[in-house]
Amino acid sequence: MGLFAKLETVGRARAAITAAGIDPFSTTFERLESPTRGVMNGRPVLLAGTNNYLGLTFDAGCIAAGCRALEEAGTGTTGSRMANGSYAGHRRLEEELADFYGMRSAIVFSTGFLANLGMIAALAAPGDVTLIDADCHASIYDGCRLSGADIIRFRHNDAADLAKRLRRLGSRVADTLVIVEGIYSMLGDRAPLVEITAATRAAGALLMVDEAHALGVLGEGGRGRAEEAGVLDQVDFIVGTFSKSLGNIGGYCVSPRPELEWVRYASRPYIYTASPSPGTIAATRAALQQLIARPELRRRLWENAARTYAGLRDMGFALGPEPGPVVGVFLPDAETTLGMWHALLREGVYVNLVLPPAAPGGGSLLRISLSAAHTAAEIDLLLAAFAVLRERTDLPAAFGGRKGTGTDAGAGGMAP
Question: What is the 3-class SS of 56-94, one letter each residue?
Answer: HHHCHHHHHHHHHHHHHHCCCCCCCHHHHCCCHHHHHHH
- Cβ proximity of 153 and 132 under 8 Å: yes
The pLDDT value given to residue 356: 81
Question: Is pLDDT of 410 > 50?
Answer: no
Q: Report the catalytic residues.
A: 185, 213, 244
The pLDDT value given to residue 118: 98
Give the pLDDT band of residue 25 (cuts 50, 70, 90). Answer: confident
Give the pLDDT band of residue 1 (cuts 50, 70, 90). Answer: low
Residue of 4 and 194 predicted with greater confidence: 194
The pLDDT value given to residue 413: 43
- Cβ proximity of 48 and 368 under 8 Å: yes
Residue of 182 and 411 predicted with greater confidence: 182
Range 216-244 average pLDDT: 98
Question: Is pLDDT of 174 > 70?
Answer: yes
Q: What is the DSSP string of 246-314?
A: T-S--EEEEES-TTHHHHTTT-HHHHSSPPPPHHHHHHHHHHHHHHHH-HHHHHHHHHHHHHHHHHHHH
Q: Map residue 15 onto helix, strand or coil.
A: helix
Residue of 326 and 414 predicted with greater confidence: 326
Range 329-340 average pLDDT: 90
Range 23-46 average pLDDT: 91
The pLDDT value given to residue 98: 98
Cα separation, 233 vs 74, whole angstroms: 38
Range 246-266 average pLDDT: 97
The pLDDT value given to residue 395: 67
pLDDT, tens digit (0-9, with 9 covering 90-100), for 50-79: 999 999 999 999 999 999 999 999 999 999
Question: Is pLDDT of 405 > 50?
Answer: no
Range 382-391 average pLDDT: 94
Cα separation, 12 vs 399, whole angstroms: 29
Q: Which of 1-15, 109-123, 158-172, 278-292 has the lowest mean pLDDT?
A: 1-15
Cα separation, 232 vs 222, whole angstroms: 12
Structural domains in the chain, CATH included, are 19-54+295-399 (3.90.1150.10), 58-293 (3.40.640.10)
Residue 171 has a CB neighbour count (10 Å cut-off) of: 7
Range 86-110 average pLDDT: 98
pLDDT, tens digit (0-9, with 9 covering 90-100), for 351-366: 999 988 777 777 899 9
Give the pLDDT band of residue 416 (cuts 50, 70, 90). Answer: very low
The one-letter amino acid at 19: A
Cα separation, 307 vs 374, whole angstroms: 12
The one-letter amino acid at 5: A
With DSSP H G I counted as helix, E B as strand and the rest as coil, what are the percentages for the chain, rounded to 5?
45, 15, 35
Tell me the average pLDDT of the chain: 92
Question: Is pLDDT of 404 > 60?
Answer: no
What share of the chain in percent tops pLDDT 70? Answer: 94
